[in-house]
Amino acid sequence: MLLPSHGANASALYKAVGITMPQEVIDVSENVNVDGFPEKIKEYWPSLLTKLATYPNEQAEPFYTDIADFHEVQKSHVVVTNGAAEGLVTLAQFFRGKDIALLEPSFSEYKRTLQQQNCTIHSIISDDISHYRFNEQALNELLLRVSAIYICNPNNPTGVLLKKEWIEDLIQKYPHCYFVIDEAFIDWTDEAESVVALTNTYTNLFVLRSMTKMFGLAGVRLGYVIGKQADKLRCFLPHWNVSNIAIELGSICLQEQQFVKKSREKSGRLREEMSVVLKNLGCTISDSSANFFLFKLPNRLNPDAFFSHLLNRGIVLRHTKNYVGLDGEWFRIAVKSEEIWAKCKEEIINYVENH
């Protein structure tokens, strides 16, 4: 059975598993901010319509400058992309034909985009999923042999936040190796572990960022890459790769740090509540700092039967059958609202207690 390789695709998932999709579905397989986009976007929206008939700035100004100012990096170290997805495609072209290391489990697009460019993938699988820890000797031996390593921080799908100090130590020890740090979800944390500032020091570092998750812009497609060598990626991009609308929305959102703070605090409180409930049911939980986490059922329960039961009840979890090292035994659940969690909680408790 071939299941969708991403969340937020409920209709395709129901079709793949052969279950009739209920009229009402709660989709916690995707992790975009449940509060949507900042209110200020509504205020500015009428003025954005004037941008429709003109070509955007090729470097995505003024968002381009705003990113550099926000992160305190040089403008030449920034490349704006059509979503973080285009950043991954571009980085894969930069690494074409090279040996690349992946910390697993992790976002499936790393492998997909790299394989498109004939890269050889070397995976190292976490030996502690809940805390996303790795065999240090095996990791160090691997880093001697590869041209780059991709690290998602916080990790998708576990939500575990890795320490900046640990990442910087590796960057220093292996200067021949590029480090691609995907920080698509780091704005759900206080950003103390972000390595963006390290791009001012190290030439072997790229940081990938997304405007999608926190700011509810999944339909707009906007992201960026920061690094001393980021300008070398520009040759792989088409002209006008980012729309005028996306550029303007990006600049607006960078100013909405109060929105970020409130979203982060709300998500953190609910994540803790959800974790306690699932732990009390005997589930294993990942030590997440993001707006999602993994959980694993008690060993006596069949994960496939549980997944199908919830689909029949209109609850869509993120399956993990395409995540290396998880093999469908874990489920990723997004942290949404109290109302959504109340419905999910009822179905999960009923299943676990009665099977």
Select from 38, 72, 46 the least CA-distant residue to 252: 38
Q: Which residue has the higher pLDDT, 327 or 184?
A: 184
| For range 202-207, the mean pLDDT | 98
| For range 46-62, the mean pLDDT | 93
Select from 13, 21, 29, 2 the least CA-distant residue to 344: 29
pTM of the predicted protein model? 0.95
What integer pLDDT is reported at residue 11 of this predicted model?
86
How far does Cα 216 stand from its chain's mean position? Answer: 13
What's the pLDDT tens digit per position in 249-278?
999 999 999 999 999 999 999 999 999 999
What's the pLDDT tens digit per position in 103-147?
999 999 999 999 999 999 999 999 999 999 999 999 999 999 999
**Residue 5 above 80 pLDDT?**
no
Select from 43, 46, 87 the least CA-distant residue to 67: 87
What class has domain 39-255?
Answer: alpha beta
Select from 137, 152, 69, 144 the least CA-distant residue to 103: 152
- Looking at the chain, the whole-number percentage of residues with pLDDT higher than 70 is 98
Taking the C-alpha atoms of residue 277 and residue 270, their distance in angstroms, rounded to an integer, is 11
Taking the C-alpha atoms of residue 28 and residue 292, their distance in angstroms, rounded to an integer, is 9
- Looking at the chain, the whole-number percentage of residues with pLDDT higher than 90 is 93
What's the pLDDT tens digit per position in 282-298?
999 999 999 999 999 99
Query: What totals of helices (H) and strands (E) does the chain contain, helices first?
Result: 12, 12
| For range 162-186, the mean pLDDT | 98
Write the burial class of residue 123 (CB in 10 Å: 0-12 exposed, 13-18 middle, 19+ buried): middle
**Residue 81 above 70 pLDDT?**
yes
What's the pLDDT tens digit per position in 206-219?
999 999 999 999 99
What integer pLDDT is reported at residue 9 of this predicted model?
78
Give the residue extent of every domain in the chain: 10-30+258-354, 39-255
The mean pLDDT of the chain is 95
What integer pLDDT is reported at residue 47 of this predicted model?
92
Taking the C-alpha atoms of residue 152 and residue 88, their distance in angstroms, rounded to an integer, is 12
The CATH superfamily label for domain 10-30+258-354 reads Aspartate Aminotransferase, domain 1 (3.90.1150.10)
Select from 198, 200, 224 the least CA-distant residue to 211: 224
Taking the C-alpha atoms of residue 287 and residue 131, their distance in angstroms, rounded to an integer, is 6
The DSSP code sequence of 262-329 is HHHHHHHHHHHHHHHHHHHTT-EE----SSEEEEE--TTS-HHHHHHHHHHTTEE-B--TTSTTTTTS
What's the pLDDT tens digit per position in 222-253?
999 999 999 999 999 999 999 999 999 999 99
